[in-house]
Amino acid sequence: MKTSAVHAAPVVTVSPKAEKSMARFHPWVFSGAVRRCDRDIPPGDTVLVQAADGRRLAWGAYSPQSQIRVRIWSFDTGAQIDAPFFKRRIDAAAAARRRMPRVSPCTAVRLIHGESDGLPGLIVDRYGDYLVCQFLSAGADRWRDTIVDQLRGLPDIKGIYERSDVQVRDKEGLPQRAGLLWGQDPPGRIDVQLGQVRLWVDVFKGHKTGLYLDQRENQAALAGMAAQADMLNCFCYTGGFGIWAMRAGARRVTQIDASPEMLSLARENAELNGVDAEAMDYIAANVFEQLRAFRDQGRSFDLIVLDPPKFVAAMGQMNRGCRGYKDINLLAMRMLRPGGVLATFSCSGLVSSSLFQKIVADAAVDAGRRARLIQRLHQAADHPVALNFPESDYLKGLICLVE
């Protein structure tokens, strides 16, 4: 029998349930939904996904070790997954960024947000003239050189650096890796401009690719409520919320983070923005313990930010994670002065927005405080939520006025 080049691709047959989810363009096929593979398929290989009746559904990347067995590249079964395909997707992502609102000027932008930009497992952030990438899936990893080749063609790029030194790579059977991919090494720290604020980004040692870009506009939004405030910025990382607040006329800011290294960058960021050093306190501590210490000392604040790391990374962590959210929100509510503002976030995708609101409402009840929601916040626009991929809707924030 004659086989065309297209037919030569490995074929993965999926269950009727997966077929339904793919009809809604959901980009993942879970291991339990795979009925049959027509051969042994190496990690990252491009596969044709088909229904039990042989109908072609999509092209995807196979990942034999991951629970997410196939990530879809394209639902166009006539498409070719090749260098021009990646060029089109990268160019489209870059073009879309021009329409996504952000603070101005802004030299730190998420260019590619994985599944939501049609490139599962790929994250690319731009800091000034440098790109920092994460290849988080076998498929993205397989196409790394092709992707880098296309990224170099973007305007004014001096260097492309990889920060794939993250645990999710273990699930894909990929080693953790970091280093220069192309061009010049980025400087030890890059100075980026975000509206009126400048921040140092350490792309070598910083979390993720260096900055929590998803909070960029939220920092700006909260600054509007910071005038004259005595602010407590919990889980401050390199200080963004606190520095925005000082620039907007806050009286004092207490920055807390468990990482002394990031806290020292927060200190340098304050200096970079000409913030009065006398008005800043830095505490390297566990927020859970520090909030209790403040409670015991009878401390109070006008504005409290809670931006913890992901407490619920898997369903098995749901109860414990929710108790964590409740605990810090309760402690924070108690130490807000009347009329104070609580800005509270959760970046756990598994905790829905309504569940999070319920937790914060419970915290208010237990704290004996009346609170009103005055603004909802979410991840920055350059971290778009693909409607066919609700998992990409992860960051939620509530700004509450507490009586």
Active site (catalytic) residues = 347
Using the rule CB under 6 A, is 307 a contact of ligand SAH?
yes
Stretch that binds ligand SAH, among 10-18, 158-166, 282-290, 360-368 (CB under 6 A): 282-290
Residue 190 bridge partners (DSSP): 201
Using the rule CB under 6 A, is 255 a contact of ligand SAH?
no
Q: Which is nearer to ligand SAH, 237 or 325 (CB)?
A: 237
Q: Which of 84, 286, 292, 372 binds ligand SAH (CB under 6 A)?
A: 286
Using the rule CB under 6 A, is 258 a contact of ligand SAH?
yes
Alpha carbon 196 to chain centroid distance? 23
Q: Which of 257, 302, 382, 393 binds ligand SAH (CB under 6 A)?
A: 257
Using the rule CB under 6 A, is 240 a contact of ligand SAH?
yes
Q: Which of 13, 137, 215, 329 binds ligand SAH (CB under 6 A)?
A: 215
Using the rule CB under 6 A, is 29 a contact of ligand SAH?
no
Apex 344 CA angle, 342 and 349, nearest 5: 165
Using the rule CB under 6 A, is 135 a contact of ligand SAH?
no
Using the rule CB under 6 A, is 309 a contact of ligand SAH?
yes
Q: Which is nearer to ligand SAH, 137 or 379 (CB)?
A: 379
Residue in the block written with tokens 């109860």: 319
CB of 178 to ligand SAH, least distance (A): 18
Strands in 396-402's sheet, in edge-to-edge order, are 280-284, 252-257, 230-234, 301-306, 336-346, 396-402, 371-378
Q: Which amino acid is at 338?
A: P
Stretch that binds ligand SAH, among 125-133, 247-255, 269-277, 285-293 (CB under 6 A): 285-293
Stretch that binds ligand SAH, among 117-125, 245-253, 254-262, 335-343 (CB under 6 A): 254-262
CB of 237 to ligand SAH, least distance (A): 4
Q: Which of 235, 244, 325, 389 binds ligand SAH (CB under 6 A)?
A: 235
Q: Which is nearer to ligand SAH, 130 or 212 (CB)?
A: 212
Determine the Cα–Cα distance for residues 255 and 247; give it in Å rounded to an integer. 15
Stretch that binds ligand SAH, among 3-11, 107-115, 247-255, 284-292 (CB under 6 A): 284-292
Stretch that binds ligand SAH, among 87-95, 185-193, 238-246, 371-379 (CB under 6 A): 238-246
Cα–Cα separations (whole angstroms), residue 179 to 95, 184, 209:
27, 11, 12
In contact, 304 and 232? CB cutoff 8 Å:
yes
Using the rule CB under 6 A, is 344 a contact of ligand SAH?
no
Q: Which residues bind ligand SAH (CB under 6 A)?
A: 212, 215, 235-238, 240-241, 257-259, 262, 286-288, 307, 309
